[in-house]
Every structure is written in structure tokens, then in C-alpha cells.
Amino acid sequence: MIKIGIVGGTGYTGVELLRILAAHPEAELAAITSRKEDGMPVADMFPSLRGHVSLAFSAPEKARLNECDVVFFATPHGVAMAQARELLAAGVKVIDLAADFRLQDTAVFEQWYGMPHSCPDILAEAVYGLPEVNREAIRTARLIGLPGCYPTSMQLGFAPLLAQAQPLVNESALIADCKSGVSGAGRKAEVSSLLAEAADNFKAYGVKGHRHLPETVQGLEAIAGRKVGLTFVPHLVPMIRGIHSTLYATILPHARDTDFQSLFEKHFANDYFVDVLPAGSHPETRSVRASNMLRIAVHRPGGGDLLVILVVEDNLVKGAAGQGVQCMNLMFGLDESTGLRHVPILP
């Protein structure tokens, strides 16, 4: 059994980790930390876990995290890098769901997150936790920086196009028009997340610049092996879970005869959690709700030179906790789908 600790188990990604790991056949939940809720049974805060999780929250100093096999950080940015060195020295693997180990350039991290990076030496060995791109590196990693929810949808949506030796599309002018449910903002009291503010409303935000832009560009350039230009516009939609990303790329003249449907199907043929839908499909966020699946549809309106890729995922599962467990499975030699074959819920 894999002995697991979770730091920051009171947020949406934390409870999603608990939900998934409680039913994981190889997982043993050993510690869940929260200084404020020290001593409170987890099921008192999250009644959905009653009968499945018997642990109580414990203050970090009581949790004995250095006795775990792996520790997940479902915490605000800056927490994992303050504790990772000690855990790694004790032989504990670390999976961070925040941004501490996503960006390899510390100057870029400091620019977008407004804090100094406290362990650049450890950052250098961090593996970006996108299994469909970095599967082999994840298998041998000690430290994972898990992708953000938006970047997961954008990178996997563009990956088949950028993974080609010769560019098929204008890679300097990629466009991502993305929408997310309110849970993407986290479990906190905030005016914009109030029911009366978010319901019956639809808005763009972060158009001038969003923290997930440099992360996504870094990932896309790693896939392509060359420079990439991306315009990313996120939107908030009045739903709880889900991301829908509509991606645009202009086909280059020499690639006009490419069968893009076949290209996507072949690229993801061995990726259990990526479902390339039949040509002409329109994926819906509810088709992946509460699951680790990501569904993609490829369109070429009017047979023209604009390629439109539709991508849906659950921002809390494939966009966060589920992807973290997928990485954990790889790190401990398990089939990466272990404990993650949940059927999406409907309605």
C-alpha cells in the first residue's frame, strides 16, 4: 500500500483527492493536515466522505509526513516549496497541485506569482506532471509540479499539432478561448464567487495576462521544440465544475491535405484518459463531470484553413486531483488508470 499524506485537505482539490484516494485499491490515507481544523474528523467537514475516510485533520507538526511514501500539496502557492526539501530528504515523493514547481524560470515565477522562489535547486529536478506528455519522466520523478486546469486542456488540445517535426499550423498565432466553472477559483469567500454574482452571468477575465499563460507556453514549446505564440482568454461561466476550451490554429498551405481527425486519433491512441470523439462531435462538460477523462473534438469549418479543437475536462479531476493520482500511479509502478476509472456523473 502507498502511504499518503495530504497537506491542505480542506479545499476543493483536497476533498477531491480524498474522494479518489478513499476508493483507490493501493492507497492508505495516513495524514490530512489543517492547522485551523486540527482534531476535526474529515467527515464532519465533508459528509460525503462519511464511512469512507475515518481520519481527522491534524496540525502539520503532528502529521508525521516524513513517514509517508508520497505527500500531495493541495495548498496555496508557496507552501510546497517551503516544505519540499525536508520531505525529499526523508525519501518522500512530493506532488504539488499549486504552481511552485510548474515554471522552470524562477524570474517568470516571481513575476506572475509575486513571491521569491525559495528552492530553485529543487525546482531544477521537478517534472511537469502531464502524463500524456511526460509519462516516462514522471515514472522516475521524486517531485511533480502538477499542471493547472486550463493549461492541461490547452496543451493536450494543441499537442498533436505541435508534436510534428514540420509545423502544420501557424504556431506563432495560436488562440485559446477557455471557460471554467466557479470551483476553479477555490473554496474561499470571495465576492466574485457568490451565487448572486456568478449565477446568470458570463464574463472574461485576465485578458491582459493570466498566470496560466507562461506555464502553457512553456509546455507547448517543450512539445514543439520551438517557439510558440499563444493568445489565451479565460472566462467564468455559471456552473460549478468543468472547463471547455475552444482552440484555434491556422493551417499552413503545405498541410491543407492533412487528415487532422486521424492525426489526433493516432496521437492519443494509447492514452486512456484522452478520448478523441468522432468527426463533427461537440463535447459537453457534463460528459466528463467528476471523471478523469478529457474529451477532444476536431473541426475544420467549411473545409477552410482554420482548425477548431474543442476540449472538455473536469477542472477538479483531470485538471487537478485526478491528474495528481494519475502521476502517483506512474511514480509507484501502477497502471496509471488505477483508482481513476470513474464513470462521469449525469445529470
Q: Provide φ and ψ at 79, rounded to 5°.
A: -75, -45
Q: How many CB atoms lie within 10 A of CB 148?
A: 24
CB 99 within 8 A of CB 77: yes
End-to-end CA distance of the chain: 34
Cell of 250: 491556422
CB 15 within 8 A of CB 323: no
What is the distance between the alpha carbons of residues 185 and 212, in angstroms, rounded to a whole number? 13
Strand, coil or helix: 158: helix
* Radius of gyration from C-alpha coordinates of the chain: 20
Cβ contacts of 96 within 8 Å, gap of 6 or more = 72, 73, 80, 81, 84, 143, 144, 145, 146
Catalytic residues: 149
CB 271 within 8 A of CB 252: no
CB 29 within 8 A of CB 6: yes
Strand, coil or helix: 217: helix
Cell of 342: 470513474
Residue that the C-alpha cell 505527500 belongs to: 71
Q: Is residue 246 within a helix (H) or strand (E), and if so which, with residue range?
A: strand 243-250
Cβ contacts of 223 within 8 Å, gap of 6 or more = 133, 155, 158, 159, 162, 163
Helices (H) and strands (E) in the chain, counts: 11, 13
Q: How far does CA 331 lie from the centroid of its chain?
A: 17
Strand, coil or helix: 30: strand
169 forms beta bridges with 251
Q: Is the peptide bond before 120 cis (omega within 30 degrees of 0)?
A: no
